[in-house]
Amino acid sequence: MKLSFSHPLWTHLPAVVALAVCIGMLIAAGPLPANGPVHFGVDGRPDAYGSPAGSFALVIGLCVGFILLSVWMDESWARQEREKRFNYFALLDEIVVGTMAGISVNLLTLLQQSDPVFTLPATEMLAFAVPAIGAAVLLEKARPFMPREEALVAEDTSDLRGQMERRLKTGATISYTDIQNPLYMNLVAVGVPAVLFVSTALAFTSQPLWSAVLNVTSGLLLASFYGGMRTTVTRDRITVRFGTPGFRVLRLAPSDVVQVDLRPYLPLQEFGGYGIRRNSRMSGYFLKGGVGVEIATRQGRRLLIGSDRPERLAEVVRAVAGLAATPSRRG
């Protein structure tokens, strides 16, 4: 399978170069001592000793992880774009890698001192971060706008509308379910709780009880979101539920619906995130960006429901609300 990116990979080059320069400086510094300060307290004095090579490997691993995370975040952003916009999140990997590279280089100097005291190495951090961020700004401005075709193509819903009308006319009980459960939800609802539970179990005797309780409670709360978001439409209600327990976050009578439209949206930019969100115009329920279903009610509320197949969801809501079918259009 050929991977195609809407946000070019070369926009991450400044972070990669900053990391490469940092690694080059570590190699050029010669062999590292077997034992040295690896952690510093609030007063700047070392409070933990160990292998500096291990610390540097951890920092490099974190930087690589952050660059990969940034690739994924920027790609998610670019796939939602309907027009070219400057993505400030694209600078995140340069900020983090530049900062960590500056701290690592400063640690090299501290390793050579007999009585090291850690202070925030502003000069080293700026030396790495400023050129990296500057280059990233230029690249983010220069990157081409490459919308994905499938995001602009609407699904034909005439057959679904016909089925709905036939069934509504015959008095059948109907239930339409739309599920939005992106891959990252499995990471949030399975991966993170697993890490929390395992780390709590391993450090059970050495950590305070409140910390263990907090970890387990957070893990259980995150695990309850396994299953993503479900929107169910029946004759008499439209319901949005989250997670395995099916937390109901929205219930609406179809008779209250006065208008249903498709609407492209940017979760981070318009709502500041994912999940149950609110901005000055409407309430949003979504786990992914793209095109959603905007519903206006008699009471003047505006709701945006995310869906992987928004044309179908919009048509079903229109059918139960008794609204005319509308030709589907995206973007």
Q: Is 4 in the site for another protein (CB under 8 A)?
A: no
139: helix, strand or coil: helix
Minimum CB separation from another protein for residue 171, in Å?
8
Taking alpha carbons only, the member of 128, 120, 119, 72 closest to residue 98 is: 128
- Name the amino acid, one letter, at 121: P
Pick the binder of another protein from 78, 96, 136, 164 (CB under 8 A). 164
Pick the binder of another protein from 64, 127, 139, 174 (CB under 8 A). 174
Sign of CA dihedral 288, 290, 293, 297: positive
> Is residue 167 exposed (0-12), middle (13-18) or buried (19+ Cβ within 10 Å)?
middle
Minimum CB separation from another protein for residue 183, in Å?
11
Among 69-77, 86-94, 95-103, 239-247, which window interacts with another protein (CB under 8 A)?
A: 239-247
User: What tokens appear for 157 in the block?
Assistant: 């819903």
**Contact positions with another protein (CB under 8 A) in 97-126:** none
Q: How far apart are CA 39 and CA 3, in angstroms?
A: 40
Who's near 49: CB < 8 A, 6+ residues apart? 35, 36, 37, 38
Pick the binder of another protein from 160, 262, 295, 305 (CB under 8 A). 160
Q: Is 161 in the site for another protein (CB under 8 A)?
A: no
Minimum CB separation from another protein for residue 301, in Å?
22
* Torsions phi, psi for 282 (to 5 deg): -160, 170
Instruction: Enumerate the β-bridge partners of residue 3.
Output: none
Instruction: Return the residue matching tokens 């169910």.
Output: 232
CA–chain centroid gap for 286, Å, is 12
Q: Is 75 in the site for another protein (CB under 8 A)?
A: no
Total residue length of the chain? 331
Please identify, using beta-carbon distances, which residue of 52 and 219 lies nearer to another protein. 219
Residues that contact another protein, how many (by CB under 8 A): 25
3: helix, strand or coil: coil
Q: Is 181 in the site for another protein (CB under 8 A)?
A: yes
Q: Is 1 in the site for another protein (CB under 8 A)?
A: yes
Q: Is 149 in the site for another protein (CB under 8 A)?
A: no
Among 44-52, 100-108, 160-168, 255-263, which window interacts with another protein (CB under 8 A)?
A: 160-168
**Contact positions with another protein (CB under 8 A) in 35-74:** none
User: What tokens appear for 112 in the block?
Assistant: 């050579």
Please identify, using beta-carbon distances, which residue of 173 and 206 lies nearer to another protein. 173
User: Which residues of the shown chain bind another protein in the complex (CB under 8 A)?
Assistant: 1, 159-160, 163-164, 167, 170-177, 179, 181, 227, 230, 232, 234, 239, 241, 244, 246, 316
